[in-house]
Structures are given as structure tokens and as C-alpha cells.
Structure 1
């Protein structure tokens, strides 16, 4: 298992009538100010392992039926500003923040902003990993962060290489003392979260984006030799806007221009490596695939493949 928790706390040995207040006190001190209304007669049987990873904090919670709420009063008394990413490891329940409420189940991920009121209810035994992401960290990845409504990432969400399952895998690897450092773990989590929230922000049209991306790539690959190949031409052919087209390529963290550029470089390299490439000059090959400046082409080629076009040809001729 991972190194010992910074803090470990359990209500197991406490009298039933003391469990709730003690649990709230621990959460307030180590996580965030809130309360647990409607405490069961048996109290809250709960356990916390709190890990400080430097930039972010992990809070591994196992608890019996309970609910939590954070009000404006708590927010006014507590200056901590974070986004909480809650991974549901066991159990189900209901969460609400802003104008959004959502039922959640095992494998889902919830994100809520601690500077706005929220509530969560767990009707049965639950296990969660609540990851504390300070606003200063969130702003590094999202430019700004003022989310007011609950974000619910379904356990089946998997788009463009980002998925809720990846978030769980990263956390589970860390808990099993994977070789990844805390810094790498934090970066991997935030990179996945950024990708998932970006996909969510695309709105209802996001379901069509992977198909748009696939069709656009096919069109580009068929027309790489067109000198006028551009985002405007492609968006016209796809019957969509340039902005929507850019969103489609952003699924893979790419841009239209970069994709076209890389595909042209690949075609040039394939031709230089092939036997037909020996008959044409490197400049002729570059111009054939849409490059207008030999020097620029040569620099771009070397940046991508680690050698100049001439060095590629010489290596092939020697071999």
C-alpha cells in the first residue's frame, strides 16, 4: 500500500451519540467546513485517511449512511477555495449544487466547487476518494475556475482518450504504491480531468464530434495536395462551422493546421523512403505535398523526424 496517511481517523470506537459531531469536527479540520444534518440514531460510523501530496490532497472516506451540506455560512467562515473531485468507490446517492442535481453510482465522478453551497446524500454504506484541488492549481490547467454547478462525469464516459475509468486507474495505482511520484500522479489526474471537462463543455453536439473528426481526417488525407486546403475549406465540405471543427480536433489535443502539417510531412517522408522518391528531388516532393518553402520544409521535417530530408535519402541510399 501507499505510504502512511498524514491523518487517520475513525469513529468506530466512539459512542453512537458522539460519532456525528466528532466526524464533522475531523472533516472541518482536515477537508472543509460543513455539517451532517439528519444524523442517524446509530451515529455516523466513518473512517478517514488523509494524504497530503503537496499540491493536492487525497481523502479516502468509508462511512455508513449519512448526508453532508455546505452552506453560505460555512463558506463565509472558511477561506479554503478548492474544487473537489469525488470518485465513488462504493455505494450510491444524490448530489446537488447550483441548479444541478444528480443521482450517482459506483464508478461515477462528481466535481463541485467549495466556494458555492452543495449537498450530498449517501443512503447506504459508501466509500469515496475526495480529491482536493485548490483553485490555484485548477487555474493553471483551466485558465480560470468559477464553476457554480455540479459536474457529474458518468462512469461510462470515454472520449478522445480521456475517461472516468482512467481517473480511477490513476488513483488505484497510486494507492497500490505505483512507481509514479506524487507530482506525476497529480499531473495525470489533472490532465484527464481537463480533457473530460473540456468534452463536457462542448454541449449536446459533443456526441457528433468524434464522427466529425473522423470524416474531416478522411477528407484531409484525400486532399493533402490541394494548395488551398484550410479550416474554411474543410468546414464547408463538412457543413459545419470552423469553431465546431476546431472542437472536434481538440478531442485529441490537436489543431487542424497541425494535423494537416503532420500528415503532409508523413507523406513526404514515405515518398523519400520509397523507391519512387529517388527519382524526384526533395524540393519536388515537398511542393507536391503542399510545402511552398524548401528551407521551412527542411526545418519542420527535422523537428518531427530528427533528421533532415537529405539525411533520410542518404541513409536509404546507403542501406
Structure 2
């Protein structure tokens, strides 16, 4: 049987092989150039496929053309293959589906599917197809796609609100698809593409997971009001970029620092309203909630609530009932 090799910039193809040898040859090609997978399917329809591999050192390009087939990477494949990458699949032609974790998506030309190879995944194609797979190291993927938890695939599609952005990305693919460009030019194109894609993926992740992320923000801030909280602290806690964090807060109509101040002020007001806290000084309460200057706290409190902290406490002491707590504004 012909051995699968990966000459730079040339096509490996099953078309010239006996039908009985095609399946194993193609599996060897993909295993050598990308990662260990299986190709379950009808033995009466041997796969006809071609692959062109280019190693740009920091990224690896794999252009695949094939007829009807399925691909799967199982836990067994993962156990025997220690390689770990993130694949960016640009769908150039044909229709199919991809799945990973709890997510399964249908895709078409103009779509992008992203997944971590340490999690089982699969693809299926009903007819002729072509895709470009950009193979990234985990470190490079983390740098550009840090917001993504990698438990299931990411889908950036032509039928989503990111359609125009995806179209622009596909418009810049030419240097990656043409071996006539220098390796340096192709690498620069790939890195520029990653920068744009990272921005889109961060937007997608924040958009899809805003309720979850915002719930984590609320809990973390309330638990750490006495700490010197910063945007960097929150971004690290959420494992997202600062840019994605700012977009998350913008969707709530508030900046990071204003939200933190609002929560501190709300905690102080709640404490001042409590009959069980009347023996504590206002300064002590302010310091407990993260303010380190009593005068600064009083100014912020009055600007936000329209009364001084002492007036809030006096109202509690002078009235039989207690005023309702005001929720923090956003």
C-alpha cells in the first residue's frame, strides 16, 4: 500500500489508488497532517479525497476536498494521540454538519466552525465539499480565543448576526489558499485573520453566554466588595479578554468601575437601613464595603442617593417604618 506523506504545498489524493486501499491511505494522510480520526461509512463507497498541507510554523494549513463522507474523533482517538490543537474550519463549498459537546450545527459555504481537538467531535458531508482547516497550537488559540471555554464548538455562520463579518474574513483567505504566495505573506495573513476572528469569537461567546457571565460578575463583585477590584480581576475570573468584558458591561448600560461603586454604595445603604447595625459608625461600614476615604464615600453616596449617609441613618432612627431599599441603578 502506498504510504501517506505530506510534501509541502502538493496535493495528496486517493484518486489514483485501488478502491480497497483508499480508506486506509486517507486515514493515514489525515493522521499525519492533522490528527488521529476515524472515517465511519459504507465500505461500498470508498472515500475519494485530496489534501494539501502547508506548515507555516506558527500555524498549519490543511485544504481538504472530498466527496460524501463522515469524520469522527472519539475518546479512543484522543487517548492514543497526544497532539492537542484548535481547528478553525472555513467552509469553502458543500453542505454538512458538525458536532461537539452538546452542540450540533449545520454549515454551508461561508461558515466557520471552531473546536478543540481534546474533545470528541465529528463532521458529516452529504456530497462534494471543500474546507480550509487552520491548525493552531493551544497557546496561540488561547491568545486569540481566550473567552471560549472549549467544551463545545463555536459556530460563526452566514445566517447569524455576524454574517457580514464572516464574509469579510472569507474575502481575505486568498493568500492562505494559494501556494504562489510566500510563506511569510501567508503567515502574516493567517495572524491577521486570527486577530479578527478572536474579536468575533469573543463577541459571539459574550453574546451567547451573557446571562451566565453576568451572573458570575454579580456574585464575584458582591463577594469581593472590600477588595480593590479591577477590570483585569474580573476578566481573569471569567477567562475573557478585557475587550470582551467591556462589551459585557456595555450591554448592561454601565462601566466596570461604576458598577463596582454602585454595588458598594448599595451594600452601604442596605447596612445603614438595618436596625441591627445602628451601633456601628458610618466610617466603619464604608470601609467594610471597599471605601478607604470617609469623605469620598459621603460625596459619592449623596451624589447617587440624593442624601448623606447620616441622613439615611437619621431617617431610620426617626421613623417607625423603614424606607424600601433601592436596587442599584445600571
Scaled to the shorter chain, the TM-score interval is: 0.5 to 0.7
Change (3 A) 1:145 1:201: closer
Whether contact under 8 Å (1:107, 1:165) holds in the other structure is yes
Structure 1 residues 104, 143: closer, same or farther in 2, change over 3 A? closer
Q: What are the equivalent positions in structure 2 for 1:295-314 lying under 5 Å apart?
A: none
Residue matched to 1:65: 68
- Compared with structure 1, are the counterparts of its residues 5 and 202 closer, same or farther at alpha carbon in structure 2 (3 Å cutoff)? same
CA shift, 1:17, in A, is 2.0
- Pick the aligned partner of 2:189 from 172, 185, 190: 185
Q: Tell me the residue number matched to 2:128.
A: 125
Query: Which residue pairs with 1:41 in the alignment?
Result: 44
Correspondence 1:134 to 2:118? no
CA RMSD of aligned residues (A): 3.0
**Aligned positions of 1:154-233 closer than 5 A:** 154-157=157-160, 163-176=165-178, 177=180, 181-203=185-207
* Aligned twin of 2:278: none
Partner Cα distance (1:148, 1:5) in 2: 32
User: Which of 92, 95, 99 lines up with 1:92 in the alignment?
Assistant: 95
CA contact 1:157–1:163 (8 Å) conserved in 2 = no
Q: 5+ residue gaps in structure 2?
A: 1-6, 211-242, 258-330
**Matched residues in 2 for 1:87 and 1:141: separation?**
17
TM-score by length of 2: 0.58
Deviation at 1:146, TM superposition (A): 4.4
Matches of 1:90 and 1:156, distance apart in 2: 16
Which residue is equivalent to 1:78?
Answer: 81
Q: Which residue of 1 aligns with 2:246?
A: 246
User: Is the contact made by 1:16 and 1:41 (CA closer than 8 Å) also made in structure 2?
Assistant: no
CA change 1:150–1:144 in 2 (3 A) is closer
CA distance in 2, matches of 1:203, 1:144: 11
Distance 1:245 1:28 in 2: 38
CA–CA distance in 1 between the matches of 2:149 and 2:209? 23
Deviation of residue 250 (structure 1)?
A: 8.0
- TM-aligned CA distance change 1:250 to 1:195, over 3 Å: farther
The answer for unaligned runs of 5 or more in structure 1 is 207-242, 258-319
| Larger Cα-atom Rg | 2
Alpha-carbon spacing, 1:250–1:22, altered in 2? closer, same or farther (3 Å): farther
CA deviation map 1:116-167 (0-9, x unaligned): 00010011011111110110111222447640101111125565x9811232
1 CA distance for matches of 2:132 and 2:189? 14
Change (3 A) 1:14 1:144: same
Distance in 2, matches of 1:245 and 1:15, equals 55
